[in-house]
Structure 1
């Protein structure tokens, strides 16, 4: 190595004792930039992880804490009245609503998801369920931006990448 950075030099010193048993091969590409370990998420302890260790207890690996109050949820409920599909779904999922033919007014993609049982309503908030997640359904751009801010820009969020922000939004909302 011509001029190693301090991080690379530290790694060189750490693995020097194993030098006889291993061969270090340089690989070109974006994968091996000098990245800061603090900006990377640890792999979850699942069978897909090569370093998976079965555990009897499941520990909390991360908590997304936001400052969203009741005003946010009230705005979400009000925004459902503006969008046609959200309004119809809200009515269909209310306990006292008994007109199933009302679902024919939904756009095709929304009707299919409704027929598959993918929508639920809890405390007046609409949720969309997929195979492994259940996320809050929002229609108002201001509310969507609030969630993105809380999961990306706020001090507690850690200012992570776009992909990881979207992943966090899916699991936190």
Structure 2
């Protein structure tokens, strides 16, 4: 489009600052520039197949549609996240289990890995979804990010529950 515009202006200015048309009227460039502009705006361009004004209107419609689609997608994702997300209620000094799902340094088949390692104490909270847990007696710390999917509070089992679980397994195996 720029090359077409340059070519039109170059040919238009080739006549000089003033020229006479076939009827004998004298014209200067300033009076004819609006007609050049109208000619340019109403000519169909080869690259787009449309006139520049129609192409501009089409681009504005496409831009509006793209913005609307992006806003709809954002609102849908936000609604789904808000519906399923639960803000963690962990506090400092709570006992939590840390998931081994994202630990790549544990060797062996993934099926045989424990889902959670032992319980840890939360030492500090850094925002809503991040905290620090104490690893060992040497006071090494492990950064804990997004504790909602990674940590769960430990379930304490008393002796009665362990015995009932053992009896249930025993009966399922058929050994009364």
Return the TM-score normalized by structure 2: 0.22
**Bigger proportion of residues as strand:** 2
Choose 1 or 2 for highest CA Rg.
Answer: 2
Return the TM-score normalized by structure 1: 0.22
